[in-house]
Amino acid sequence: MNLSSIRPVVRAAAVILLGSSVSGCYELQAAAGQAALMWSREPIGRVISDPRTPGDVRRALLSVTAIREFATRRLDLPDNGSYRSYARLDRRFVVWNVVAAPEFSLSPKRWCYPFVGCLAYRGYFAEREAVRYAARLRARGFDVSVQGVAAYSTLGHFDDPILSSMMGWSDVELASIIFHELTHQKIFVADDTPFDEGLATFVEREGVRRWLTAQGRGADLARYALTRRRYRAVTKLLGGTRAALRRLYARPLPPAAMRAAKRAEFAALRASYHALAAGWGADAPFSAWFGAGLNNADLASVATYERCVPGFARQFARAGRSFPRFFRNVGEIAALRRGARDEAVCGDAGP
């Protein structure tokens, strides 16, 4: 996904793959989509050497090869078969995630699966199935968001490929997703999405900074830092709206009055965003997201990624900015009970 927009949850395939606790129809589409994707994989080296491979794809895959080695050698991320193969798709996205939240709540609906625990989204390989399921949730009164996902991960249960839906990304964007997903394969705590996403988001960002620094790409590093500052400004704005909505939803208002006040809060958010992003142009984070309209489900999905990032940054500093020490320490924290884990990395990170 482009860094100038919000990244949707990219681990949908893990839920699809392991979702044996849900309906048979859901399992059938998941199994068929998973099998088709796995059968379409080719080793990246073979794709690069194929004279029929377009030049832009070849260049992207050469970057992927270098990024993948950097992840293992310099970031202490898993040395396995993930992101060493390539799969061509016949569509823009690999899966579509459905995120839902009650009309007057920011707590997302959760779906529970073996091995990964309960997650705040449900993924589909076919867009029409995601849209159909989203419509059923809306009919039940939920705020719903359907998010196309261009990347893919099974948390290491299979050797995940680089996808044709990721071609056209810059090498910074490719590095971001590879570092993020390999972190999930390194450490993953079932049923603790804020911890998992906070860890992977922190490693992704630190990894990209090291990747650009190692190549002496000062101008790209400065652009990445600028994007991160803008992203933080937007997420701070979103945090203010979440706080205002929580206060609103706690009030004993009739539904009609609550809906009117809710619309006013979202209208104020859009106005504040456009004022903040004026002059940012194509580099404005979340621009496409704001253009599509917002609801409770959208705000819930953003909060998942950011809540625990500051805590992991503190842990990294305590580890002397050494990834091997950092991962050892985080592994010990991951083994703690939920309350102790939150206190160690998420306790004072805010709502």
pLDDT tens-digit readout, 112-123? 876 667 778 888
Reported as a pLDDT band with limits 50, 70 and 90, residue 23 is: low
| Mean pLDDT of all residues belonging to the chain | 87
Contact 97, 122 (CB under 8 A): yes
Reported as a pLDDT band with limits 50, 70 and 90, residue 111 is: confident
pLDDT of residue 30: 66
Q: Which is more confident, 311 or 117?
A: 311
Q: Within 13 Å of residue 182, how many CA atoms lie on the same side as its CB? A: 30
Reported as a pLDDT band with limits 50, 70 and 90, residue 24 is: low
pLDDT digits (tens, 9 = 90+) for 340-350: 999 999 875 44
pLDDT of residue 26: 64
Reported as a pLDDT band with limits 50, 70 and 90, residue 84 is: very high
Share of the chain above pLDDT 70, in %: 88
The CA distance from 205 to 196, in Å, is 14
Kind of pairing between the strands at 162-163 and 85-87: parallel
Q: What is the mean pLDDT of residues 255-274?
A: 96
Q: What is the mean pLDDT of residues 108-133?
A: 85
Neighbours of 28 (CB within 10 A): 10
Q: Which is more confident, 286 or 220?
A: 220
The tokens for 22 are 């849900």
The tokens for 194 are 């804020």
Residue among 233, 137, 193 nearest 346 (CA): 193
Indicate the pTM of the whole model: 0.86
Query: Does pLDDT of 12 surpass 60?
Result: no
Residue among 204, 149, 142 nearest 173 (CA): 204
pLDDT digits (tens, 9 = 90+) for 188-247: 998 888 899 899 999 999 999 999 999 999 999 999 999 999 988 998 999 999 999 999
Contact 144, 123 (CB under 8 A): no
Query: Does pLDDT of 25 surpass 70?
Result: no
Reported as a pLDDT band with limits 50, 70 and 90, residue 27 is: low
Q: What is the mean pLDDT of residues 303-321?
A: 90
pLDDT digits (tens, 9 = 90+) for 134-171: 999 999 999 999 988 887 778 888 899 999 999 989 99
Contact 189, 341 (CB under 8 A): yes
Q: Which residues, in sequence order, are bridge partners of residue 117?
A: 113
Helix, strand, coil distribution of the chain in percent, nearest 5: 60, 10, 30
Share of the chain above pLDDT 90, in %: 65
Q: What is the mean pLDDT of residues 34-50?
A: 89
Domain boundaries along the sequence of the chain: 12-346
The CA distance from 25 to 125, in Å, is 12
pLDDT of residue 300: 83
Torsion angle of alpha carbons 179, 89, 12, 262, nearest 10°?
A: 100
Query: Does pLDDT of 32 surpass 90?
Result: no
Q: What is the mean pLDDT of residues 287-291?
A: 82
Contact 27, 20 (CB under 8 A): yes
